[in-house]
Amino acid sequence: MLPPGALDLQILPDASAVARLVADRLLRELLQGRPELTADAPSGGLRQPLGLATGRTMEPVYAALLQLVQRLPAAERQRLRAGWLSFNLDEYVGLGPDDPRSFRAFMTAALGQPLGLEPGQLQLPGGLAPDPAVEARRYAEALARAGGIGLQLLGLGLNGHVGFNEPPCGPEAPCRALMLSASTRCQNAAAFGGDPQAVPAMAISLGLAEILAARQLLLVVTGAAKATILRRCLQEPPCAAVPGSWLQRHPQLTVVADAAAAAELALP
């Protein structure tokens, strides 16, 4: 368990307040990067890529980020765009960029197209790669070459998954191709006409190894349905049955939750 006071926990009234706060944090990261590294970065942008996530939790976050970016002076907006490099957590195996249910399509619609980013600035595993295991290794190597993740944005699955690291999962699990659990296929069925069987059976996901190696973690959790799993993640000893509980081991973990998701947390 986290030592008391080690966790930066921010509880806000609702999901829109959460989205605004998280968007502001992302914008600061995008504009500043690591101060000690920005001075000699040719683009003036980030040295370490931003780690991004998909899912319903992130929809209002990215909408709020777009609003903030649109309010920037043109020169700053241009700097942000030129310096952008992000790596997403995961992608479904079998879905390509033209499939609106792919995470690549989600990211293009949410950020790539509105911000005018090149596809290469938004990195995701290739869902159509002929060999998913080889693609997972390629993706991990590309991330390592780019310097690893700076700030990693994370949502939380109802079964405690982060990325698509399904339980049971230890803290050293690497980027890999994996089978999705029945509960995750149910959770994500809405995007597939409500049919869990239509949700791809496999995905490629960064592992807890790459996630825990990020410089900073930002876990975003909203809604009453996640109150129990958030408590288990943060206030029970880390264990493979709750993959998100390994985040407690990270020295720079910030959790932003709405009041409904935080309802079961024991607070000082």
Contacts of 248 (CB under 8 A, 6+ apart): 1, 2, 7, 233, 234, 238
Out of 163, 171, 200, 244, the residue judged to bind ligand GLP by CB under 6 A:
163
Within 85-114, the residues that bind ligand GLP by CB under 6 A are: 89-90
Rounded (5°) CA angle 85-219-175: 60
> Could you give the CA distance from residue 88 to residue 124 in angstroms, rounded to a whole number?
5
Tokens of 238: 């880390």
Residue among 163 and 238 whose Cβ is closer to ligand GLP = 163
Residue listed under structure tokens 């006409």: 193
> Could you give the CA distance from residue 95 to residue 110 in angstroms, rounded to a whole number?
17
Rounded (5°) CA angle 171-184-18: 75
Of the candidates 29, 88, 90, 258, the residue annotated as catalytic is: 90
Site stretch for ligand GLP (CB under 6 A), options 4-12, 55-63, 65-73, 126-134:
55-63
Count other C-beta atoms under 10 Å from residue 1's C-beta.
12
Q: Is 141 a catalytic residue?
A: no
Number of chain positions touching ligand GLP (CB under 6 A): 14
Q: Is 161 a catalytic residue?
A: yes
Within 167-196, the residues that bind ligand GLP by CB under 6 A are: 184, 188
Residue 165 carries which DSSP code? B
Out of 12, 53, 105, 218, the residue judged to bind ligand GLP by CB under 6 A:
53
The residue among 186, 184, 167, 179 whose CA lies nearest residue 233 is 167
Q: Is 40 a catalytic residue?
A: no
Nearest approach, Cβ of residue 241 and ligand GLP (Å): 17
Of the candidates 159, 165, 210, 250, the residue annotated as catalytic is: 159
Q: Is 166 a catalytic residue?
A: yes
Site membership for ligand GLP, residue 56 (CB under 6 A): yes
- Comparing every residue's Cβ against ligand GLP, the nearest one is 155
Q: Which residues are catalytic?
A: 90, 159, 161, 166
Interface ranges with ligand GLP (CB under 6 A)? 53-57, 89-90, 155-157, 163-164, 184, 188
